[in-house]
Amino acid sequence: MLNVIEHGEPGRPQVLIAHGLFGSGRNWGVIGKRLADTFHVLCPDMRNHGDSPWFDSHSYEDMADDLAGLLDGPADVVGHSMGGKAAMMLALTRPDLVRRLVVADIAPVAYGHSQSHNIAAMKAVDLSGVTRRSEAAPLLDADDEVKSFLLQSLDVAEARWKLNLDVLDREMDRIIGWPEVSGRFDGPALFLSGGRSDYVRREHRETIKASFPQARFARIPDAGHWLHAENPRDFEATLRAFLA
């Protein structure tokens, strides 16, 4: 169902990588290509993102079901931010499909940082005369770092965003929240945070351990919330060490 970019040879140990809000599987191309020497890496576009289908809902239960549909057996599952919550939901509801879990810079808690302002900024851009992404940049009211990231989801040829902005806006409380979920994942789990990020705090560890009793914690120095993009070499090295 989801659009998937694959790296590496089928038959190798499988790694599934779930991207964050406003992202796509392409965002993980560098990491995916480097891991391809050892793994078969699946980088899907999550629902309502990229080239995957659009739906009227965007719950973590739905996203976990989407990811489960890509797997025919246990895999190592990596998720960043929104994708990290989807990966956690998959591990809690379908532990038979998750061999090892890596959660990048997010905790199983509700947050207050709505991203609706970025959705409003994207909707406000008049794309009718835009022929290059560089022409859309000054029209997009966002911080420079965020602007560059958002523009990766602009389809200039079709004059559209490859994001279901209406549904993502309507479902924002679900996206930044975390539902009541029973279950426990007893497999190996790594919660990997950016050294400059405050998304995973010490007070979250008790909550994490309740659902993921084997959880271990590590930080990537010189990186914020987008740790895999800001310090990809250290992220890759930590990932390889854990998956080995």
166 tagged catalytic: yes
Spatial distance between the Cα atoms of 239 and 213, rounded to a whole number of angstroms: 19
Catalytic residue among 166, 173, 186, 222: 166
- Helices 144-151, 116-123: axis angle to 10 degrees equals 60
225 tagged catalytic: yes
Spatial distance between the Cα atoms of 178 and 60, rounded to a whole number of angstroms: 8
Q: Of 56, 1, 51, whose CA–CA distance to 23 is shortest?
A: 51
Q: Of 147, 165, 156, whose CA–CA distance to 127 is shortest?
A: 156
Catalytic residue among 19, 58, 80, 225: 225
Spatial distance between the Cα atoms of 146 and 200, rounded to a whole number of angstroms: 20
Catalytic residue among 52, 81, 193, 197: 81
Spatial distance between the Cα atoms of 221 and 243, rounded to a whole number of angstroms: 20
Active site residue ranges: 81, 166, 225
